């Protein structure tokens, strides 16, 4: 293996990083989950480097979904320094989502 290659980061490495992470738990068959994609794209362009956003398919990663008690999807979880600081199931509109995230990051 070439030393310049970097292996993909694990979920734990990502959520324990310096940048807060919003995780979107979804499934391909879930219609409300599809509604979150443009909302998350707007959020990323609004917040830029202050927030990482990743999507986790609950069907392909059931162990992670079980660990964080994801029972309904879409399910959003906000991590800061590896700590879960906010979680909500269901579609959240962009202005409300940005407000919640900024508020939670200020408090933690």
- Angstrom CA distances, 49 to 4, 20, 31, 63, 75, stand at 24, 9, 28, 28, 22
Residues forming the active site: 30, 33
What would the two tokens of residue 17 be? 């990083």
Cβ-proximal residues to 108 (8 Å cutoff; 6+ apart), any chain: 80, 83, 85
pLDDT at 17 over 60: yes
pLDDT beyond 70 at 4 = no
Q: Which CATH superfamily is domain 26-107 in?
A: Glutaredoxin (3.40.30.10)
pLDDT, average across residues 50-70 = 96
Query: Which residue ranges make up each domain of the chain?
Result: 26-107
> What's the predicted TM-score (pTM) here?
0.91
């Amino acid at each position: 293996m070439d030393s310049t290659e970097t292996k993909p980061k694990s979920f734990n490495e990502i959520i324990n990083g310096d940048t807060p992470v919003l995780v979107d738990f979804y499934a391909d068959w879930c219609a409300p989950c599809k509604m979150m994609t443009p909302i998350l794209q707007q959020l990323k362009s609004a917040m830029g480097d202050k927030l990482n956003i990743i999507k986790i398919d609950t069907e392909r990663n059931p162990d992670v979904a079980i660990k964080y008690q994801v029972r309904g999807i879409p399910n959003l979880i906000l991590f800061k320094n590896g700590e879960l600081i906010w979680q909500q199931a269901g579609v959240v509109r962009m202005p409300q989502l940005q407000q919640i995230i900024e508020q939670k990051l200020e408090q933690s």
